[in-house]
Structure 1
Amino acid sequence: MKVVKFGGSSLASATQWRKVANIILSDEQRKLVVVSAPGKRDAQDTKTTDLLIQLASTVTPSSFDEEALLKVVDRYRDIAEELDLGDNIIETIKDSLLEIIQTYRTQYERLLDALKASGEDNNAKLIASYFQSLGVVAHYVSPKDAGMIVTDEPGNARILPEAYERIADLRKREGILIIPGFFGYSNNEHIVTFPRGGSDITGSIIAAGVEADEYENFTDVDSIYSVNPNIVDNPCEIKELTYREMRELAYSGFSVFHDEALQPVVQKKVPVRVKNTNHPEAPGTKIIAEREVNGVPVVGIASDKGFCSINITKYLMNREVGFGRHLLEILEDEQISFEHTPSGIDNISVIVRSHHLEGGKEDRVINRILSELHVDDVSIERDLAIVMVVGEGMEKTVGIAAKATNAFYDAGVNIKMINQGSSEVSMMFGVEAYKVDLAVKSLYEAYFMK
């Protein structure tokens, strides 16, 4: 049994839907289908989810913008009319949106979650209707009926452990099951969405819950590339990589697969394959627990902007028991998660996402570090980018770091900091944000072109 997930670009139009139907029906193992909301049809188009967010912004306790509602309904109507699905399903979609507005119009967080989730939910209903029109035994399955029980944190749902037992029952159902991604239901029956990339998370949870033989994630590229194609022309394709490698690359800016989506399949060791809806015959990229390195120590290079570094200096810091714990407690009190902590004997840097220091948090953190840790100096370094070099084979290969530093030197990129975890599956370099693309290009040439 395979679980198949299709992203927004794969479901943006009736033309794409026909491709999706052919893909699903070409393999009888594809029984569970997780779907996103319709994405952009072209560069000037608006994603359905964004239309729903716009609609939510117009809702007051007594009114809403009907034109904003019709823009959402029309996205589905365009698809339904081209596929000859009739008006009944569209009226059902419109009624469901009106019901959400009526139910949550005085609770904005709940309203926003429920409207965003409706993008996937209504798409799943429409797709099930389309398959039935083709004479295929197919059923829409709501996340509640699928067993997607989640924590009650609007916009930040987490699957609850007891959900997996319910999800396993999906194996017993007949026909093709169409499940909306991106959201679940809390124990008090509220609709709650996952963070960004939520449909990937749903697909991974379903695949783990039914212990699928494979989780296929269909998108709009033939495979995962060794570097962002927007930075390097015609980069190498990655045929196979491990969960750990994918986690590092996804965290560092690879948008093909959301990093949080890996956890469920990792625990159950369900293989993942990333494929292209527009070119399904391509083998894609397989993500597995272990792979043969075959003399290629680096599998990919990723980068991401929007970081800053809290730099702290204190003489004999290394001898002060509890210093690091106290520092991280200060961040914890402000609900700030850290990304990396490069350190020396008298200094430590904590790299965080820049937006985590907004809203007065920066001043509070700095003041507490000064008053509670009695440091010699503390400063914030802004406009940093993180570049990650990733590969399981780096641990047993001499000269990997030297190649990177030489590449940076030749390109005129100053290294602000270096960090490498004990697993040696990745190396992190901090560079000035405006030079990050140059840094990535120099590393790609060093590892893949020589």
Structure 2
Amino acid sequence: MKVVKFGGSSVASAAQFKKVAAIVRADDERRIVVVSAPGKRYKEDTKTTDLLIALAYSVLNGNNYGDLLSQVVERYADIVRELELPESLIQDVKASLEERIQTHRSNEDRLLDALKASGENENAKLMAAYFTKLGEESHYVSPKEAGMVVTNEPGNARILPEAYDNLKSLRERTGILVVPGFFGYSKEGNIVTFPRGGSDITGSIVAAGVEADVYENFTDVSSIYSVNPNLVEHPHEMEELTYQEMRELAYAGFSVFHDEALQPVVEKKIPVNVKNTNDPTAPGTFIRSEREQNGLPVIGISSDSGFCSINLKKYLMNREVGFGRHLLEILETEEIPFEHTPSGIDNMSVIIRDHHLYNGKETRILDRIRTELGVESVHVERGLAMVMVVGEGMANSVGVAAKATNALHEAGINIKMINQGSSEVSMMFGVEAKNADRAVQSLYHAYFAPVPAK
């Protein structure tokens, strides 16, 4: 059995629906289909999810939302008409949206979740209807029916353990099952969405729940590249990589996978195959628990911005028992997770996401560090990016770090921080955000030979 997930660009139009149907019907093992909301049909287009968010805020602000509602409905109407599906489906979409608006219009969080989730929900219904029109036995399966039980935190759902047992029953059902991605239902009966990009999370959860043999994730690229293709011409294509390597790359900005999307399949060791909806016969990239080393110690390079560093200094800090624990406890009190903690004998830095320092948190944190830890100095440094060099082959290769630092030196990029975990799967370099793209390019060219044009 295969669980197949199609991203927003893969289900953005009637033409893409036809490609999806051909892909699913070409392999009898593709029995469960997870769909996103319609994405962009062309470069200047607007994603349906963004239209739905705009619709929600229009309702909340008391504005006339009729035009936005019509824009959303028309996205589905175009698909219905071109595929010659029943016109009643268009009215069903509009009625469903109106019902969600009227039910949740006084609660901002619930309205946002309900409308965002409708993007995937209505698309799944249309997809199931299209399979039926083609003569296939097909069923729309809502997350509630499937038993997708999640926590009750709006916009930040987490799957609950019992959901996996519930999902097992899908194995016994016949026909093609179409499940909307991106959301589940809390025990209180609320619609709750996963973080943005959460359709990948749904696909992974369903694959783990039904214990699929393969989780196929269809997108708009034929493989995962070793670097952002917008930064390097003809980048190296990865045939396979490990879960850990993908996790490290996703953390630092790889957009192929939401960085929480792998956890369910990792635990079940279900292979993930990233494939192209527009070129379905291409082998794509496999993500597995283990892989053959191909002679390249580094498999990928990525970067992400939006970081800041809390830098502090105290003489003989290294002899003070509990110093690090107390520092992190201050962050814990403000509910701020930390990313990295590079340190020296008399100084220490804590890397966090910049967006956590809001509503006076920065002032409170710095005041507590000064008074409770007695530091000589403490300040926040902003505008940082983390550049990640990833590859399980690094652990058995000499000179990998030297090659990286030399490449950054030759590019004239100052290194603010270096961090490497004990597993030696990745090296992380902190640089000024304005230099991040140039850092990625210099590192890529240091590790990968230029690929000739095809």
Same fold (TM over 0.5): yes
Q: Deviations over 1:89-142 (max 9, x none)?
A: 111111111110111011111000000000000000011111111111010000
Cα offset for 1:345?
Answer: 1.2
Look up the match of 2:164.
Answer: 164
Q: Residues 61 and 105 of structure 1 are in contact (CA less than 8 Å); yes or no, is this contact kept in structure 2?
A: no
Pairing of 1:34-433 with structure 2 (within 5 A): 34-60=34-60, 64-433=64-433
Q: Which amino acid aligns with 1:214?
A: V
Cα offset for 1:147?
Answer: 1.1
Q: Deviations over 1:159-215 (max 9, x none)?
A: 000111000110000000000000000001100000021000000000000110000
Q: Distance in 2 between matches of 1:75 and 1:411?
A: 46
Equivalent position SS for 1:404:
helix
Larger CA deviation: 84-93 vs 185-194 = 84-93
Q: Distance in 1 between matches of 2:62 and 2:87?
A: 28
Equivalent position SS for 1:394:
helix
Equivalent position SS for 1:261:
coil
Cα offset for 1:64?
Answer: 4.7
Cα offset for 1:61?
Answer: 9.2
What 5-or-longer segments of structure 2 have no aligned partner? Answer: none
Equivalent position SS for 1:260:
coil
Q: Which amino acid aligns with 1:446?
A: A
Cα offset for 1:156?
Answer: 0.2
Are 1:445 and 2:445 matched, yes or no?
yes
Q: Which amino acid aligns with 2:362?
A: E
Q: Which amino acid aligns with 1:43?
A: K
- Equivalent residues, number: 450
Q: Residues 272 and 288 of structure 1 are in contact (CA less than 8 Å); yes or no, is this contact kept in structure 2?
A: yes
Q: Distance in 2 between matches of 1:169 and 1:347?
A: 55
Cα offset for 1:396?
Answer: 0.8
Q: Distance in 2 between matches of 1:294 and 1:39?
A: 35
Q: 1:126 to 1:264 in 2, by over 3 A?
A: same
Larger CA deviation: 31-40 vs 54-63 = 54-63
Q: Distance in 2 between matches of 1:330 and 1:61?
A: 37
Q: Distance in 2 between matches of 1:60 and 1:197?
A: 24
What 5-or-longer segments of structure 1 have no aligned partner? Answer: none
Larger CA deviation: 55-64 vs 70-79 = 55-64
CA RMSD across the alignment: 1.1
Q: Deviations over 1:207-229 (max 9, x none)?
A: 00011000000000111100000
Q: Distance in 1 between matches of 2:213 and 2:397?
A: 33
Q: Distance in 2 between matches of 1:260 and 1:180?
A: 18
Equivalent position SS for 1:227:
coil
Q: Residues 61 and 106 of structure 1 are in contact (CA less than 8 Å); yes or no, is this contact kept in structure 2?
A: no
Q: Distance in 2 between matches of 1:62 and 1:415?
A: 49
Q: Distance in 2 between matches of 1:23 and 1:388?
A: 35
Could you tell me the percent identity over the aligned residues? 70
Q: Residues 419 and 427 of structure 1 are in contact (CA less than 8 Å); yes or no, is this contact kept in structure 2?
A: yes
Cα offset for 1:443?
Answer: 0.5
Cα offset for 1:292?
Answer: 1.5
Cα offset for 1:60?
Answer: 4.3
Q: Which amino acid aligns with 2:316?
A: L
Equivalent position SS for 1:395:
helix
Q: Deviations over 1:264-293 (max 9, x none)?
A: 000000000100000111110000001111
Equivalent position SS for 1:126:
helix
Following TM superposition, the consecutive aligned residue runs of length 4 or more in structure 1 with deviations greater than 3 angstroms are 60-64
Equivalent position SS for 2:261:
helix
Cα offset for 1:63?
Answer: 6.9
Cα offset for 1:62?
Answer: 7.2
Q: Distance in 1 between matches of 2:146 and 2:126?
A: 18
Cα offset for 1:86?
Answer: 2.3
Q: Distance in 2 between matches of 1:241 and 1:409?
A: 29
Cα offset for 1:322?
Answer: 1.1
Cα offset for 1:87?
Answer: 1.2
Cα offset for 1:294?
Answer: 2.9
Q: Distance in 1 between matches of 2:410 and 2:71?
A: 52
Q: 1:60 to 1:254 in 2, by over 3 A?
A: closer
Equivalent position SS for 2:149:
coil
Q: Distance in 2 between matches of 1:55 and 1:136?
A: 35
Q: Deviations over 1:29-68 (max 9, x none)?
A: 0000000000011111111001101110111497751111
Equivalent position SS for 2:221:
coil
Q: Which amino acid aligns with 1:354?
A: D
Q: Residues 309 and 349 of structure 1 are in contact (CA less than 8 Å); yes or no, is this contact kept in structure 2?
A: yes
Equivalent position SS for 1:90:
helix
Q: Deviations over 1:317-357 (max 9, x none)?
A: 11111111111111111121111111111111111111111
Q: Residues 147 and 166 of structure 1 are in contact (CA less than 8 Å); yes or no, is this contact kept in structure 2?
A: yes
Q: Distance in 2 between matches of 1:395 and 1:312?
A: 31
Equivalent position SS for 2:262:
helix
Q: Distance in 1 between matches of 2:75 and 2:150?
A: 29
Are 1:29 and 2:29 matched, yes or no?
yes
